[in-house]
Amino acid sequence: MDGIIYPASIIFLAILTFIFYQNRNTMLMFIAIAIGVYIVYSQETGHTATEFKNEVIHSIDDKAQEFDKEHSNKSFDTD
């Protein structure tokens, strides 16, 4: 994230988490913490949820094509 967006989002989530804690809303507090962890993780490593989704889709597609080749199923259309 560029410039002020990254620190501002972390500060906003910290304030939001504190407000949820004060109001004894633990579920929303944990959700806000999880979002903050995801933001820090994606900023530090460069890995995003979209990359993970694409890897899973490609893996499933590769396995389906291997299954088709092994079982020589003529009805499977890869297109």
Decide: 8 and 15 in contact? Cβ < 8 Å. Answer: no
Contacts of 6 (CB under 8 A, 6+ apart): 39, 43
Q: Is the pLDDT at 64 greater than 90, yes or no?
A: no
Q: What is the pTM of this model?
A: 0.67
For the stretch 8-52, pLDDT in tens is: 999 999 999 999 999 999 999 999 999 999 999 998 998 899 999
User: Amino acid letter at 38?
Assistant: Y
Decide: 56 and 30 in contact? Cβ < 8 Å. Answer: no
Put residue 59 in one of left, alpha, beta given phi > 0 → left and psi -120 to 50 → alpha.
Answer: alpha
